């Protein structure tokens, strides 16, 4: 018999494929810059910015803005809370998929 599945363990913050992609990238990389993330996910600047902003408000992502020479550089990393919440979400998905 399959283990009981608790739908409440699925986090609505990660229902968007873009947010799921952002967190997946950040789980395997310490930091990722804006351009790299945009290219990896094949999204527009505005689309990425809005999803990052939402994750930042939930304190799942930390955004660092700095300059390299005179060029602005924005770097993202998953917070401890974000990593923990994403792991709970992934574990819930795994339970759902188990026969």
- Check residue 68 and give its pLDDT: 86
Helix pair angle (45-57, 17-28), 10° resolution: 70
Residues of the chain with pLDDT under 70: 1-5, 99
Enter the CATH code of domain 14-91: 1.10.10.10
Residues pairing with 32 in the sheet: 76
pLDDT at 5: 65
Prediction pTM value: 0.89
**pLDDT the model gives residue 2:** 54
* Nearest Cα to Cα of residue 92 among 40, 20, 36, 22: 20
Query: Residue 7: its pLDDT value, please?
Result: 79
């Amino acid at each position: 018999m399959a283990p009981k599945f608790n739908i409440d363990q699925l986090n609505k913050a990660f229902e968007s494929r873009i947010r799921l992609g952002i967190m997946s990238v950040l789980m395997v990389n310490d930091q990722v810059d804006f351009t790299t993330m945009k290219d990896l996910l094949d999204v527009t600047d505005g689309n990425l910015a809005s999803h990052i902003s939402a994750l930042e408000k939930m304190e799942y992502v930390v955004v660092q803005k700095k300059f390299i020479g005179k060029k602005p550089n924005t770097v993202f990393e998953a917070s401890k809370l974000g990593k923990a919440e994403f792991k709970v979400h992934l574990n819930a998905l795994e339970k759902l998929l188990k026969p």
